Structure 1
Amino acid sequence: MASSPTIALAGATGGLGPAVLEELLANNFHVTLLTRQGSNSAGGVAKSELLNISEIGYSDIKGMTDVLRGIDVVVSTVGNPGLDNQIPLIDAAVAAGVKRFIPSEFGADPEHEKNKPLPFYIRKLRILDHLKEKAANNPGFSYSRVTTHAFLDWGITEGFLLNPKVHQITIYNGGNTRFSVTTLRTIARAIVAIANNLDGTKNRPVFVHDAAITQNQLVRYAKEADGIDWAMESMDTKQLLHDSLEEMKKPNPDLAKAMRGLTFVAVYDEDHGPDLTDRLSNKLLGLPVMTEKEVAEVIKKAMLAA
């Protein structure tokens, strides 16, 4: 039996990274955890015979290349502040002979025609273009980009999809637009499945979700979890798009507010392809889709954890 690919993981201490690391180790992958030089972010990571920790400097391509020699798959789960560091990491991966690079995507589809013009996706598209160029010019190197749309459990505990602490939610376009939701564990399982099927996932988008639901369903399941009514504000995503773009034109824009608005547009506006059902790669990866009952249970647990 062939041995499992060796993995390097960047961003293992963020929102998604710990779930990915846990799943990789649970499936007996040898993992090299990449941490910034001088950072103590890996201090809380549990020790494992399968885990090595290597400090890197993103400006030191030669140093990163040396660390990545012998690695088959590089997985990046870095957050928005670290997105641009993926460019030199990709260059080092190519130089080291890495077979596959999985960039930090995992949200709405950045290559959807309605998402491409959004400022939020400029850097992600630049990284994807860089990956495509490297893959085209280096036959031994390839990429997979993973689109999962909204994070379900994280989106509740972090107050993104709704705010369980004060029972408030903004309902967009009436709340009946179906959008895909995915738990952190399913995203991690998708990464494991890609590592185990490099040929079938080569140089392509991989679409994964647990289910497609509506905001009205989300509120109903949340109310079933604790019986408390929700305060609901209504908003139109087209107006939100206009307001967010106008905010960015101001001399001193509130960029966080604008980017958050654009994110909600990508998540909830029907024209932006929020329902991945017709594009799913779940079957390719051997991942099931959740039943309504299972979705409701995830929401209940996330509500209790918030």
Structure 2
Amino acid sequence: MPSVRVALAGATGNIGTPVLEALLGSDFNVTALSRIGGNSSKLKPHPNLTIKEVDFNSVESLAAALVGVQVVISCVATLAMGDQNPLIDAAVAAGVKRFIPAEFGIDSMNPLCRQLPIVGVSKVKTQQRLQEKSRSNPGFTYTAIANGLFLDWCLEENIILNIPQHTATLYNGGDVKFSASLLSDIAKAVLGVIAHQDETVNRVVYIHSALVTQNQLIQYVKEKDGKKWNTIVKDTEELKQESLAAQAEGSKGGIEAATLGFSLCGMFNSDYGCDFSSHLDNELLGIKELNEDELRKLVESFL
């Protein structure tokens, strides 16, 4: 399998960094696609890593960089998820066999999730493009990865809880069970898709490192240090309206806030399919769920 040549877009981002590390750690030959004048200087030299600067708006530029590549992985930033068509078209033109889009998050197959702008405007349109290209080019296939929230990153960034300050906004009361994944497990899932292309062809795969609730995570902290928490409760419908208003502002900050808000709407309301436990692909992709002790230690590490 390491003889497969892989191209990675967004190699310096939150998802791209662990994905690149996992690919190189498994001896894959990797072409990192970097925007002209972008962040390629952040990438450490590696004998299996080639960096190619490209124009992400040009199919010609991208296709030239993808010659000889079998798998393309898109880890572009959230705000760029709606602009993957040139990369998809270039992959088809270059004869790429498998495309993994920048999905990584809530369940884009859930009807309510598909109504959220973060999904409907970008992920659904990207899936439609991939389906269209796969139908007209039988050798071209895709796999999207749904992994819930980024568990370790969200704890580090104080998004689902602020552990150091012992504060939290409890969405829909804090007892909603939601799927969440470690960044390292998302990277493992990418490797699993490459290793199991027949079983993952043209569909969304689902993984999680743990099924948790906000109150469960808070309880682990309470049991460790005994300190009181200050919490407020917010309905995700209220959050959705706030996010729509922020998006309407049109500023970069407003769009970023709206994007996070829509993601949280999809992950803290059971109607949005935030519990993946009934349809996981963990076993196929080599993902092991955290046991309670491991989850507890993870949470305590942020104290």
Task: Say yes or no: TM over 0.5.
Answer: yes
Matches within 5 A, 1:276-287: 276-287=276-287
Alignment identity in percent? 39
Note the C-alpha offset of 1:3: 5.0
2: CA distance between counterparts of 1:44 and 1:244? 32
Q: Secondary structure at the match of 2:114?
A: coil
Note the C-alpha offset of 1:217: 0.7
Note the C-alpha offset of 1:208: 0.5
The amino acid that maps onto 2:237 is K
Contact 2:2 2:28 in 1 (8 A): no
Note the C-alpha offset of 1:17: 1.0
Q: Secondary structure at the match of 1:130?
A: helix
2: CA distance between counterparts of 1:225 and 1:135? 51
Listed as ranges, the gaps of 5+ residues in structure 2 are: none
Note the C-alpha offset of 1:228: 3.7
The amino acid that maps onto 2:9 is A
Note the C-alpha offset of 1:151: 0.6
| Further displaced range: 252-261 or 69-78 | 252-261
Matches within 5 A, 1:1-306: 4-39=3-38, 41-121=39-119, 122-224=121-223, 226-245=225-244, 254-301=254-301, 303=302
1: CA distance between counterparts of 2:181 and 2:291? 13
1: CA distance between counterparts of 2:32 and 2:227? 42
Contact 2:2 2:27 in 1 (8 A): no
1: CA distance between counterparts of 2:88 and 2:249? 35
| Further displaced range: 172-181 or 236-245 | 236-245
Q: Residue by residue, what CA displacement relative to the aligned partner does 1:92-134 show, whole Å, maximum 9, x if unpaired? A: 0000000000011111012211111111212111111101111
1: CA distance between counterparts of 2:277 and 2:202? 21
Contact 1:210 1:290 in 2 (8 A): yes
Q: Residue by residue, what CA displacement relative to the aligned partner does 1:155-193 show, whole Å, maximum 9, x if unpaired? A: 111121112343221012221111001000000000011
Q: TM-score, normalised by structure 1?
A: 0.92
1: CA distance between counterparts of 2:53 and 2:270? 43
Name the Cα RMSD after superposition: 2.0
2: CA distance between counterparts of 1:204 and 1:259? 24
2: CA distance between counterparts of 1:99 and 1:214? 38
Note the C-alpha offset of 1:278: 0.5
Contact 2:210 2:289 in 1 (8 A): yes
The amino acid that maps onto 2:171 is Y
Note the C-alpha offset of 1:276: 0.3
1: CA distance between counterparts of 2:41 and 2:244? 40
Residues 1:161 and 1:42: Cα distance change in structure 2 (over 3 Å): same
| Further displaced range: 159-168 or 213-222 | 159-168
Q: Residue by residue, what CA displacement relative to the aligned partner does 1:2-33 show, whole Å, maximum 9, x if unpaired? A: 65321101001111111111111111111111
Contact 1:4 1:196 in 2 (8 A): no
Residues 1:181 and 1:170: Cα distance change in structure 2 (over 3 Å): same
